[in-house]
Amino acid sequence: MTRRRFSPIALPLVAILAFAGLTATGCTNAAAPSASAIAVVNGAEIPKSAVDEQVARVKTAQPASFEGTAGAGIEKQYRAQVLSGLIDLELIKQAAATLGVSVTPAQIDAYVAQLQTQYGGEAGLTTAMTTAGFTMESLRAQVSSNMLRDAVSAKVTTGTVTVTDAQIKAYFTQNPSQFSTPAQVHAEHILFATTDKATAQTVLAQVKGGGDFAALAKKNSKDPGSAATGGDLGWADPSTYVTEFADAMKNMKINDVVLVQSKYGWHVIRLLGRRVASTQTLAEATATIRQTLESSSRSEKFGAYIADLRTKATITYMDAELQKLIEANRALNSSTTTPTAGK
């Protein structure tokens, strides 16, 4: 690890698959709910195991988030979030059937292939999946759910979204940090354990002698967030890295290679590039802002569509505490939602 935040490989996969808990399939049951159900949506059961599996996955990937005196409360809130997402998914699946929307295995195959390319091949994706707590089966189920949600959203949010110049200017003025880019560096590194300085020195010499950095990183690096991508950390603000790592790069020239120790261990670092700080003008940012506001408007429209489905649905909860949390969270979200563009 080099950054103070999460590893750079886990975050993209989690972001790509961000719809928490959306991997279960409801089972229609006209009789009394089974003992395994945690909720019933228009007669379709949501199994408690679906919530348990999602919570276990996140606890494996981010155990520290559930530790300490607040851990139990955080887990309960997360369980409510997962169940709420599962209810939304079941409603989306039911709506998809009515709308004639579906996702094919070929579409899922194509998306998984894109992920493999993004992570440098099958081995890289496998590493990312392990870090994020996914198996190939659960990954495909998550991708299917996300694609179905997107397909239904596209179906029900058609029409023109009007974004005015005044709205674009207001957004630009109110969000200056989005249009300012700090100075950035592009680096790659190979991480070794604190006790493995000798190997780090050997690999340093190999790199300086013309060795293949990416191959050496894949073979030796202990950083799960970059090993699979050949040690490439991409472009980043130097301040996001641990102090020793950031300080080393201050005096490095492009293609310099150094060995640095941090609390994570020994880093063989190569600097690939630098970018100076920059700020976009309103004219430069207009197209991006327009897309952002249009997307936000459609998201709000889809959110309202899901809310309407929930209002009309018959939903039975088997856990009164989770029901209370879900309803409280929905009330809070409803009260803080404001429109961003004309419909």
Strand 44-47 with 265-275, pairing? unpaired
pLDDT above 50: residue 21 = no
**pLDDT for the residue numbered 282:** 98
Cα 143 to Cα 146: distance, rounded to the nearest angstrom:
5
- Alpha-carbon distances, residue 159 vs 13, 98, 101 (angstroms): 31, 20, 18
- pLDDT cut 70: percent of the chain above it: 88
| pLDDT band, very low/low/confident/very high, at 303 (cuts 50, 70, 90) | very high
Model pTM?
Answer: 0.69
pLDDT above 70: residue 338 = no
Residues 6 or more apart whose Cβ sits within 8 Å of residue 173:
none
Cα 108 to Cα 104: distance, rounded to the nearest angstrom:
7
**pLDDT for the residue numbered 34:** 87
Maximum distance among all Cα pairs of the chain, rounded to whole angstroms: 72
Could you identify the residue written with the tokens 């179906």? 155
Q: Does domain 183-276 have CATH number 3.10.50.40?
A: yes
C-alpha 21 chain-centroid distance: 13
Strand, coil or helix: 247:
helix
pLDDT above 90: residue 159 = no
Strand, coil or helix: 210:
coil
Residues 6 or more apart whose Cβ sits within 8 Å of residue 333:
none
Query: Where are the domains positioned within the chain?
Result: 10-160+290-336, 183-276
Domain 10-160+290-336 is of which CATH architecture? Answer: Orthogonal Bundle (1.10)
Q: Which of 155, 151, 122, 152 is nearest to 139 (CA)?
A: 122
Question: pLDDT by residue (tens digit) across 176-235?
Answer: 999 999 999 999 999 999 999 999 999 999 999 999 999 999 999 999 888 888 999 999
- More confident call, 62 vs 289: 289
pLDDT above 90: residue 237 = yes
**pLDDT for the residue numbered 10:** 39
Strand, coil or helix: 281:
coil
Q: Calculate mean pLDDT across residues 274-301.
A: 96
